[in-house]
Amino acid sequence: MVARWGIDDDMNFEDVFAKYQKLIYNLSRRIMGNDEDAQDITQEVAIKVYRNLHKCKGEDFVAAWISKITHNTCMDALRKRKGKFTSSLDDTVGFDDGEVQVQIEDEAIGPEALLLQKELNAQIETALLKLSTEYRTIVILRDVNGYSYEEIAEITGLPEGTVKSRLFRGRSKLKNILLREQNQSDLR
Amino acid sequence: MKNWDEVLSLYIDDVLDEKQKADVEKELAASAVVRVKYENLLIVTQTLNTLSEVDLPEGLADRILWNTTAKHTQKAKSRKAQWITRIASYGTVAAAALLFGFYFGINRDDSGLYTPEADEYSSIEMTASLDISEDAEFGGFEPIGVRLFSDENFEYVTDAEIQAEARTLVAPVTANVQMTALSNEITFFVNDIQEAINFFALTFDGFQIVSQRGDAFATVEVPAEDNGTLLIHLMKIE
């Protein structure tokens, strides 16, 4: 469980921040989609960690605890700007709930198509940003950060079933975005 | 009909029971379509798994640490030292006046604040020793070495090592201070933030942070009316 945090008395904020600053920055950077927001979020998370470090009870949970704070801080920031900004990229992908628009035939090009793509890492980072936040966050927590379903449920406050469904949908969408871009690239 | 994306996602995460896994593997062997789906999905998850972490932009971690810890400790220190600062500040201002007075007053703008010229300190090198009177409530500054020069960006930098001995109530405090003067501000850079905060909390009443550049924490303004003292603003964050 992630709900009960723990931290040794001899661990101080500076040590914790030194160890987890990259986790905070990279998670927020991927959720928010840009460096500037990630810097602000990292600062905000640092203050929250600093103020609440005494609540921690176990070193094993610090990463998940910090991820939860980071996730919540990102969600708060995104909520605040809701209405001011919507992702046009999401719109262009245009998924209906659970239904991918890329047809099965597209996958017939085979896995080698994805394998042959240069700079797949960069492409997948870009493709991640085309997912809506709800899918992106779960995919990042699972596939980039390696958290279990249970941990992701704790971090996000979602039921495990929702985590599972968002994960497979997010992965499918991501795969299809890459395939679609591959197809477009082949057409050029 | 099975949603193969869902099943394959669970299969990749190894959370299916043995029978479900056997069903998937049977389908993978039989169906090229499912196999392609699986392989593409696997590539995506494996690629995500290997995404590298980027480093924080240079200076960000230090800035965050400073912003985070200083804001909190500073308040506590200020409260503790409040009554001491009232006693000490007069002597310290006098000491600072002696320290800075020998090169301030050279060039003042209409607002009354000192503004260095680009070439003003480019070749000046000087040292001074000040011995504050035993009568001062706050201790002495000695010795003081000051080297002034400008870089290409016309930022005026002085290096100084100031040993400040708090003779009232507290153990001696040593602060290694680098001073950067830009425009009409003298900004202090210190090697030990906490020590500097302690030092200035004990020294000045109501100090102000005007820069969040890592270890910068104070400015000094020089009024036009030089009547032998300097107006020193050490300002609080926020």
Indicate if the alpha-carbon torsion angle A125, A126, A127, A129 is positive or negative: positive
- Residue B94 above 90 pLDDT? no
Residues of A numbered 66-95 whose beta carbons fall under 8 angstroms of chain B's beta carbons: which are they?
none
Q: For residue A57, what are the β-bridge partners?
A: A6
Residue A150 has which token pair?
Answer: 């249970």
CB of A146 less than 8 A from some CB of B: yes
pLDDT of residue A188: 60
Tell me how many degrees the CA angle B32-A103-A162 measures, rounded to the nearest 5: 90
pLDDT, tens digit, for every residue of B127-168? 222 222 333 333 332 222 222 222 322 222 333 333 332 222
- Residue B123 above 80 pLDDT? no
pLDDT of residue B127: 24
Q: Which chain A residues are closer than 8 Å to B8 by Cβ? A: 168
Residue B63: pLDDT band (50, 70, 90) is confident
Note whether A168 contacts B33, CB cutoff 8 Å: no
CB of B163 less than 8 A from some CB of A: no
Ranges of residues in chain A with a pLDDT under 50 are 1-9, 84-106, 108-113, 116-118
Q: Quick one: B152 exposed, middle or buried, by C-beta within 10 A (0-12, 13-18, 19+)?
A: exposed
pLDDT, tens digit, for every residue of B180-216? 333 233 333 333 444 444 444 433 333 333 333 333 3
Q: How many CA atoms lie within 13 A of B228 on its CB side?
A: 2
Pairing of strands B125-128, B156-164: unpaired
Note whether A172 contacts B52, CB cutoff 8 Å: no
Read off the pTM. 0.56
Note whether A107 contacts B54, CB cutoff 8 Å: no
Please name the member of B5, B51, B55 whose beta carbon is closest to the beta carbon of A121.
B51
Q: Which chain B residues are closer than 8 Å to A95 by Cβ? A: none
Q: Which chain B residues are closer than 8 Å to A121 by Cβ? A: 47, 50-52
Q: Are A143 and B51 in contact (CB under 8 A)?
A: no
Side chain identity at residue A101, one-letter code = Q
Note whether B68 contacts A50, CB cutoff 8 Å: yes
Distance CA A143, CA A166 (A): 13
**Minimum CA–CA partner of B6 in chain A:** A168
Query: What ipTM does the predicted assembly reach?
Result: 0.78
A178-183: long-range pairs with CB below 8 Å, 24+: A178/A114, A178/A117, A178/A123, A178/A124, A178/A127, A178/B44, A179/A102, A179/A106, A179/A107, A179/A109, A179/A113, A179/A114, A179/B40, A180/A102, A180/A106, A181/A123, A181/A127, A182/A109, A182/A113, A182/A114, A182/A117, A183/A106, A183/A109
Q: Are B120 and B191 in contact (CB under 8 A)?
A: no
